[in-house]
Amino acid sequence: MSGEAFARAENSSDLGMKSGVVHDIDRVIAIAGGDTLGGLLFRVRDAGQPQWSRRVVLILTRRMMGRHPLGRVIAEAAAAVALEEFVFPHCRVCGGARELMGANLKVTCDACGGSGRQRYSNSYRRGRIGTYGRLIDLGIADAHRDMNNAVSGLLARAHGRLG
């Protein structure tokens, strides 16, 4: 793949998938080594392929259990919550627009403070998981860091292979 084709693929607004057709998302993942956590996350979040979610949750669960003394059920629930937050980061009130429109009036969204991103409190996360504790907070923070690093690494590897 040429550098120009990769740049187009990486910046594509059409990351959809259709059976039997090679799309931009396939090119990015293929050149960077697609079975890594980053490739799976790219498929789940950007290509709309939720069938890979279970595998991502299992990877994050293993990592979380390796770092923190959490049981498998709790670690898996925390990993699922972290993945959901990663896949759906936009504010649920303004949809990521940062502002709400009224009758000729723009108002900064109070729910997200104008950031466009959903704010997830530790108490909300603990409620979703069904338990509480600092270990869950640390586990979710680690999962987010792992996911962000994995996607960044995927893109960096793809750039490096084209270099």
The structural domain count of the chain equals 1
Tell me how crowded residue 144 is: count the other CB atoms within 10 A of its CB. 16
User: How far is Cα 136 from Cα 34, in angstroms, rounded to an integer?
Assistant: 29
Q: Which domain holds residue 48?
A: 3-162
Contact 81, 60 (CB under 8 A): no
What integer pLDDT is reported at residue 142 of this predicted model?
A: 93
The pTM assigned to this predicted structure is 0.71
Instruction: Name, in order, each residue with C-beta under 8 angstroms of 101's C-beta and a sequence gap of 6 or more.
Output: 107
* Per-residue model confidence (pLDDT) at position 21: 47
What is residue 11's predicted lDDT score, i.e. its pLDDT? 54
33 within 8 A of 157, measured Cβ to Cβ: yes
- Report residues of the chain scoring pLDDT below 50: 1, 13-22
Q: End-to-end distance of the chain based on CA atoms, in angstroms?
A: 11
pLDDT at residue 12 in the model: 53
